Amino acid sequence: MSSRHNNTVVTTLQHHIMDEQRVHRPDASGEFSSVLSGITFATKIIADQVRRAGLMNILGSTGQTNIQGEVVQKLDMIANETILACLGYRDNVGIMVSEEEDEPHIIKELDERSKYIVLFDPLDGSSNIDVNVSIGTIFSILQRRSDGTDGRVMDHILQPGYNQVAAGYVIYSSSTVLAYTTGHGVHMFTLDPSIGAFLLSKENISMPVSGKTYSVNEAYKSQFPDGVQEYLDWTKTKEAGYSLRYIGSLVADFHRTLLKGGVFLYPPTQKTPEGKLRLMYEANPLAFLAEQAGGVATDGRQRILDIVPTALHERTPLVIGSKDETDRVSSFWKG
């Protein structure tokens, strides 16, 4: 379904989600689109806060430290509270898991009605907030298990990434762009602030199969596994001819990789031997998007989406991007 705006035919995100549902999930009762619209509503509010942060004294830190051991920025908390508020009253969301919250938010008992579990990084790239560099929100949607699992909340939450029913991100940059998948391709929308709607900008995105861009924080190179250090040495050879691009916001480095190809890697370091990035609400959703666009995501050894989580905020090494590029990293790093 589409409509006309500025005399052109446009497809809003809501239309797209309903079309997706009509084609791929005719049995769904529209409740899934209500969850996604709750998330997109929250990201419109966050986009507005991010754009005006410097004018509203909401830059800088709260002075608190979260379960990740990281200093919490004011915008981290604002984004977190916005998503909790926008999803909290959706009666089909049973549980929410946030990077900023030690424990899951049990909105209501999981049952046939409130079966969705929404996991999110409310603001990714916090170190970039105060210097006006791209940041984002990342989300992952699971359903409660229907295999007779008993009522233990963590059994329903700690599912491998291949069980995700949807995933996506919003990047707050020169424009606000949302990308999402429900398992039927990756689709991208740009927020038109004049009408407050996300309008379809790219459908069925396919990640280039190769790309001579690698994205890593090379300051930690000496702490990386030997194979990764050898890969990084190879990228600098004349025959390789690679460029380094590293924004320091995962969502922005992934957005570039999705559109232009290349590879992003955050290997284990002495400081973060399990890797820095979180499995449930950073690696899993981006891995779902990467694979839906024809790319690859591993932890250096196995497919990210196959990892069976054991803890809510567990971390993982991440190698994600074009198939040829992730294969090349694996050929050097035997995991």
Q: Which residues bind ligand AHG (CB under 6 A)?
A: 70, 99, 121, 124-127, 217, 248-250, 276
The angle at the Cα of 248, spanning 316 to 99, to the nearest 5 degrees, equals 50
Structure tokens of 174?
Answer: 């020169």
Residues that contact Mn ion, how many (by CB under 5 A): 4
Judged by CB under 5 A, the stretch of 93-101, 147-155, 185-193, 316-324 that binds Mn ion is 93-101
Burial of 258 (0-12, 13-18, 19+ CB in 10 A): buried
Contact 258, 204 (CB under 8 A): no
Q: 71: which strand partners?
A: 65
Identify which of residues 87 and 247 has a Cβ nearer to ligand AHG in the complex: 247
Please tell me whether residue 121 binds Mn ion under the rule CB under 5 A: yes
How many alpha carbons lie under 13 Å from residue 30 in its C-beta half-sphere?
3
Give the burial string for 123-152 (b: 16+ CB within 10 Å, else e): bbbbebbeeeebbbbbbbbbbbbeeeeeee
Kindly indicate which of the ranges 17-25, 42-50, 95-103, 112-120 contains the residues binding Mn ion, using the contact rule CB under 5 A. Answer: 95-103
Nearest Cα residue to 10 out of 187, 195, 199? 199
Q: Residue 3 CB, nearest distance to ligand AHG (Å)?
A: 35
With contact defined as beta carbons under 8 Å apart, do 300 and 263 qualify? no
Nearer to ligand AHG by Cβ, of 94 and 295: the residue is: 295
Least Å from the CB of residue 126 to Mn ion:
5
Q: Which does 248 bind (CB under 5 to 8 A by kind): Mn ion, ligand AHG, none?
A: ligand AHG
Using CB under 5 A, which of 90, 98, 124, 295 touches Mn ion? 124
Residue among 20 and 100 whose Cβ is closer to Mn ion: 100
80 vs 182 by CB, closer to ligand AHG: 80
The smaller minimum CB distance to Mn ion, of residues 20 and 124, is found at: 124
CB of 276 vs ligand AHG, minimal distance in Å: 6
Positions touching Mn ion (CB under 5 A) are 99, 121, 123-124
